Amino acid sequence: MVTPVVVNRSTNPGATQQLIDAGTHPLLARLMAARGVENSNELASRWADMLNPNTLSQTQQAATFLAEAIEEQKRLLIIADYDCDGATACAVALRALTEMGADVDFLVPNRFETGYGLSPAIVSLALQHPNGKPDILITVDNGIASVEGVEAATSVGIDVVITDHHLPGDELPKAAAIVNPNHPNCGFLSKNLAGVGVIFYLMLALRAELRERGAFDIEDQPRLNLLSDLVALGTVADVVKLDSNNRLLVSQGLKQMRNGHMQAGIAALFEVASRNPANASTFDLGFALGPRINAAGRLADMSLGIRCLTTDDPHEARRLAQELEAMNHDRRAIEQTMRDEAMRAVETATANGATKQASLCVYHPDWHQGVVGLVASRLKEKYWRPTLAFARSDDGSLKGSGRSVPDVHLRDALDLVSKRDPQLINQFGGHAMAAGLSIAEHNYERFVELFDEAVRTLSGRDSFEPVIQTDGSLEVQYLDVSTAALLETQVWGAGFPAPLFRDTFNIQQQRLLKDKHLKLRLERNGSIIDAIWFNHNQLLGDQADISYRLDQNHWNGRVSVQLIIEYALSLS
C-alpha cells in the first residue's frame, strides 16, 4: 500500500462570500467555492438552465435526418454499448424514439464475440435482424472510432448517425451526422457529457424538430424530462466529470427518484440493492445500481440490462433486476478470485525485482475478460500507478482494460505506444482515467516495456504517490445529522468530489469488527462521535489526524451521525 500525502484543498473566500450572499448555506458555499464554483449560476438545477442542444455539434443535422426517417417510417436500429452508460443511453433512445413514432429496435455488441462499438461484424448482425434490414443505425456511447464499421454499413445501403462522447482518433467516420461534444468542430461548453447525455440532447432536438413539423404541439409532446432518472444513472456510473451542466442533469434525475417517479427497472434495482429511492444519492447510482447493470455486460449480454430499463411492467422489471443481482453476486466472486491472484503475482514479481515502478501490467490466461477492468482498478488503488489487466479472448488475442492516476492520461499513453510501434496494438480507445485495448499474446512482454516507457515520457516521473485532498476542519456545530443529510442531497462525483474533512481527534474507544473494520469512539472539543474505518484492522494511538466523511447511520429505526474514515495518522 502506498502512503498518501494529505493536503487541504485551496479555498476561495471571495467566491464563498458571493455564494453566501446569494443564499447558499455557509458550509456548502465554502465547499462549492473550493471546487471551482464562482457564482450561484453554476449551482442552477432547473431545466431552463441547461446548455442549449443546438450548440452541440451536428445536433440539428441529426435531428432533421431522423425526423424525416420517422415520417417515412424507416427502420431504425440502435447500436448500444455494454456498460451502464451504453445501456441507459439505449433505453433513453428507445423510449424517446418510440414515443415520437419511430420504428425502432436495438442491438448491443457482445463483449466476448464482436467486441466494442459499431464494427463490420455488428453490421453483419444488423443485416440479419429479425425485423429486417435497418435503414439507419444510431450509435449510442460508441461510434466515433468506427471508421470501418460505418464504411461497412454504407456499403450495404445503411445510413449511420453517431452519438458518442469519446475522444475521436485521427480519422472521423463518414456518417450522416456525428453528435459528440468532443468533435473537433464542436463548441459545446460541456465536453464532459456521458453517452446517455449526448443521446438525451439529440432527443430534445428531435422533439423540437418534429414539433415544428406539426407532429405534436407543446401540450402533448413526449415528456422527455421523465427520462432524467436514466440520464442521471448513466452519467454517474460512467464517472464523467460532473461539471455544472452534468450536475444539473444528475440533480434532475435524483429529484425524480426521490419523488418516486422513475422507470420500473430503476425502482426494481433500488429494491434488490436494498436502497431507498426516497434518499437517492450519487453514491446509490455509482455503487449500487450501476454495478448491477454493468454485471450483465461483464458476464453475459447487456440486452438483459436494457430490457430491465425499458420495461413498464413492475413484475418483469423485478424479475430482470433479480437476474442482474445474481449476476452481480457472481461477478463479485470472480473479481475476488482474480484480484487475489493478481495481488499474489505482483507481490512475487516485486520480490524478484521484476515489476516496473511507473506502471503495472498483469495477465493470466484464465481470467474473465469482462472483469479485468475491475481488477485493474483495485491494483491501481493499492499500488497507485497506471495499471492494465489482461485476459485471453476467444480469438487468442489479449484483451486489456486499464485504470490510471491523475498524473497520466491513459489513452494518450496507449496512443504513444501505438505511434512508437504501429504493429503492437490491434485496437485501443478510452479516456484519461480508463481505457481498453487488444494485443497479440506474443507481444505482451514488449507491450509492458513500451507502456512503462510511455508513462514515464508523458509524466516525466518514475513513480507516483496518491494525494488526499481534504476540505480542512469541519466546524463542531456541523457534526450533526442535519449536516450529514444536507451533504448527502448534493451532487458529488468525478471532478466534484464529496466533502472530506480533516481534524485531530482524541480516541476514547476502538475495537475491530469482524477482524477487518476499525470501529471507534472519538472526542473533539467536548463532542463525542462514532466513527468507522472500513477494511482497516490496525489500531490507532490515543490521538490521530483523521480525514473523514460525514455520514448518517441508520440503526434500529434511529438515525445518528458517524464519521467514515478515509485515512488516519496516529499522533501519539
pLDDT digits (tens, 9 = 90+) for 290-324: 999 999 999 988 999 999 999 999 999 999 999 99
pLDDT of residue 193 exceeding 70, the answer is yes
Please tell me which residue, 389 or 239, carries the higher pLDDT value.
Answer: 389
CATH 2.40.50.460 in the chain, residue ranges: 468-570
Please state, for a pLDDT cut of 90, what percent of the chain lies above it: 90
Helix (H, G, I), strand (E, B) or coil at 145: coil
C-alpha cell at 332: 463479485
102-106, 230-234, 319-323, 347-351: lowest mean pLDDT where? 347-351
Mean pLDDT, to the nearest integer, of 352-368? 91
Give residue 1's pLDDT.
63
Residue 125, exposed/middle/buried by CB under 10 A (0-12, 13-18, 19+)? middle
Predicted model pTM: 0.93
Mean pLDDT, to the nearest integer, of 515-531? 95
Q: What share of the chain is helix, strand, coil (3-state, %, to 5)?
A: 45, 20, 35
Q: Is-contact 150 160, C-beta < 8 A?
A: yes
pLDDT of residue 106 exceeding 80, the answer is yes
C-alpha cell at 28: 456548502
Cα separation of 97 and 75, whole Å?
11
Domain 468-570 has CATH 2.40.50.460: yes
C-alpha cell at 481: 445529522
Mean pLDDT, to the nearest integer, of 111-125? 88
The residues, ordered by sequence, that sit 6+ positions from 207 with a Cβ below 8 Å of its Cβ are: 96, 100, 221, 222, 224
Q: Is-contact 160 137, C-beta < 8 A?
A: yes
pLDDT of residue 483 exceeding 90, the answer is yes
- In the predicted model, what is the mean pLDDT of the chain? 95
Give residue 553's pLDDT.
87
Q: Is-contact 400 439, C-beta < 8 A?
A: yes
Cα separation of 352 and 334, whole Å?
27
The confidence band for 484, taking pLDDT boundaries of 50, 70 and 90, is very high
CB atoms within 10 A of CB 570: 13
CATH 3.90.1640.30 in the chain, residue ranges: 47-325
pLDDT digits (tens, 9 = 90+) for 249-269: 999 999 999 999 999 999 999
Which stretches of 134-183 are assigned E, i.e. beta strand?
136-140, 159-163, 177-179
The residues, ordered by sequence, that sit 6+ positions from 333 with a Cβ below 8 Å of its Cβ are: none
Mean pLDDT, to the nearest integer, of 393-402? 92
- Of the candidates 493, 463, 287, 466, which has an alpha carbon nearest to the alpha carbon of residue 382? 466
CATH code given to domain 356-459: 3.10.310.30
CATH code given to domain 47-325: 3.90.1640.30
The confidence band for 479, taking pLDDT boundaries of 50, 70 and 90, is very high
The residues, ordered by sequence, that sit 6+ positions from 118 with a Cβ below 8 Å of its Cβ are: 79, 137, 139, 142, 143, 146, 149, 150, 153, 160, 162
pLDDT of residue 478 exceeding 90, the answer is yes
CB atoms within 10 A of CB 499: 21
340-344, 431-435, 479-483: lowest mean pLDDT where? 431-435
Mean pLDDT, to the nearest integer, of 138-151? 96
Q: Angle of helix 444-459 relative to helix 410-420, nearest 10 degrees?
A: 120
Q: Is-contact 435 417, C-beta < 8 A?
A: no
The confidence band for 432, taking pLDDT boundaries of 50, 70 and 90, is confident
3-state secondary structure 318-367: HHHHHHHHHHHHHHHHHHHHHHHHHHHHHHHHHHCCCCCCCCEEEECCCC
The confidence band for 109, taking pLDDT boundaries of 50, 70 and 90, is confident
CATH 3.10.310.30 in the chain, residue ranges: 356-459
pLDDT digits (tens, 9 = 90+) for 12-68: 999 999 999 999 999 999 999 999 999 999 999 999 999 999 999 999 999 999 999
